[in-house]
Chain A
Amino acid sequence: MTESTQPDSKTSLSDTKEAEARTPEQIRKSRNRVLGLGLAAFVVLVFFISIAKMG
């Protein structure tokens, strides 16, 4: 968790114009999709952890 490194604008949503062009619904929809994928991945992970723990 070192503080360091270069400017991190590239890693963020750096193109503000692009962000402004997107509607709140589009932003919310893509965020919910990512959240859904994350939750699905978590369920799969818990399943495999359970298998590993029982093994």
Chain B
Amino acid sequence: MTTTSPNSTIEKPLPADWRDLIALTKPRVMSLVIFTGLCGLLAAPERIHPVIAFTAILCIAMGAGGAAALNQWWEADLDAGMKRTAKRPLPQGRLDRTTARDFAGVLCAASVFLMGFAVGWLPAAILAISIFYYAVVYTIWLKPRTPQNIVIGGGAGAFPPLIGWVAVTGHVTLMPVLLFAIIFFWTPPHFWALALFVKSDYAKVGIPMMPVVAGEKATRRQILLYAALLLPLSVLPWWIGGTHAIYGISALVLSSLFLALSIRVGLRERSGAEDTMKPEKQLFAYSVLYLFALFAALVVDRFIAL
């Protein structure tokens, strides 16, 4: 997108619009990050000043936004080739790559330093690791190389509740690690359900997503495996006495439904080109709802038990 001055034939690119910079931070993904980070913060057994708590969440959001922007900066060419991502600001040429990179760098650095000075250096260090994990380990290293990319790299999305918790307590204990593990095991079935119905997009740009490399059948089995592991794992915080029955029963019900939907996806086969992939789409939609509900139950459990 360019504009031409009436007095000159030289085309100048339009300046970056702030809405495109916001779009670069993947606001929808960020909402889940903020929510799980907030839940980690609220579920922690201690209390911090509301301003410090707000700053911690702001830093988590800025870090997530910065990492997402780095991801889009690095993958601009790939995004252009995929229907799902082709309308992003960089593939559409509404932003230049240098602006995107600088914006991402400033967001990442500001989030870590603000977290360090205002909240603590341990949550700041974990935040820095999570940014590095997502932007470098996942985006640059694993995603283009292995079909297990989402399993290992998905860990980046598991950091927010851990950071939220550590922002309050100042140390890492078993409970926040369990919260990390829940998101870690939730990510593969969540993402592979999506990958099953956008498989052609990934194949087109050469990203070795599980359905592209190992085939649909193997992906469906893996979804089932992770969902089966997620059920006992999600109940573990209750079992070790870290939560009360409200969370425990909620986790049991929510994870059972997750497993039921995963079984439906895991045991079926695509009926043909006209298959609408409804079970996969339902599993994907439910997986988002599942994480919101599970972490909401964690917070409700904590406050009702007080």
Could you list which residues of chain A lie within 8 angstroms of chain B, going by C-beta atoms? 1-9, 11-14, 16, 19-20, 22-24, 27-28, 30-31, 34-35, 45, 48-49, 51-53, 55
From B28, B157, B191, give the contact of A1 (CB < 8 A).
B157
Query: Is residue B16 within 8 Å, beta carbon to beta carbon, of the partner chain?
Result: yes
> Are A4 and B190 also in contact (CB < 8 A) when A12-B88, A13-B89, A14-B87 are?
yes
Residues of A near B83 (CB, < 8 A) are 7
Whether B191 contacts A4 by the Cβ 8 Å rule is yes
Whether A28 contacts B29 by the Cβ 8 Å rule is no
From B23, B51, B134, give the contact of A8 (CB < 8 A).
B23
Which residue, of A3, A9, A28, A48, has the highest number of chain B Cβ atoms within 10 A? Answer: A3
Instruction: State A11–B85 Cα separation when bound (angstroms).
Output: 12
Q: Chain A interface mostly helix, strand, loop or mixed?
A: helix
Could you list which residues of chain B lie within 8 angstroms of chain A, going by C-beta atoms? 1, 3, 12, 14-23, 26-29, 32-33, 49, 51-52, 55, 58, 63-64, 67-68, 71, 83-85, 87-89, 92, 94, 118, 130-131, 134, 138, 150, 153-154, 156-157, 159-160, 183, 187, 190-191, 194, 288
Whether A31 contacts B28 by the Cβ 8 Å rule is no
Whether A9 contacts B49 by the Cβ 8 Å rule is no
Whether B92 contacts A49 by the Cβ 8 Å rule is no
> Are A48 and B94 also in contact (CB < 8 A) when A1-B67, A7-B84, A24-B15 are?
no
Closest chain-A Cβ to B150's Cβ sits at a distance in Å of: 7
Whether B92 contacts A16 by the Cβ 8 Å rule is yes
Residues of A near B55 (CB, < 8 A) are 45, 49
Whether A7 contacts B87 by the Cβ 8 Å rule is yes
Closest chain-B Cβ to A53's Cβ sits at a distance in Å of: 8
Provide a sorted-by-A list of 20 A–B residue pairs whose CB atoms are within 8 angstroms: A1-B29, A1-B64, A1-B67, A1-B130, A2-B33, A3-B71, A4-B190, A5-B194, A5-B288, A6-B28, A8-B87, A11-B27, A12-B20, A23-B3, A28-B15, A31-B17, A31-B18, A45-B51, A52-B51, A55-B49
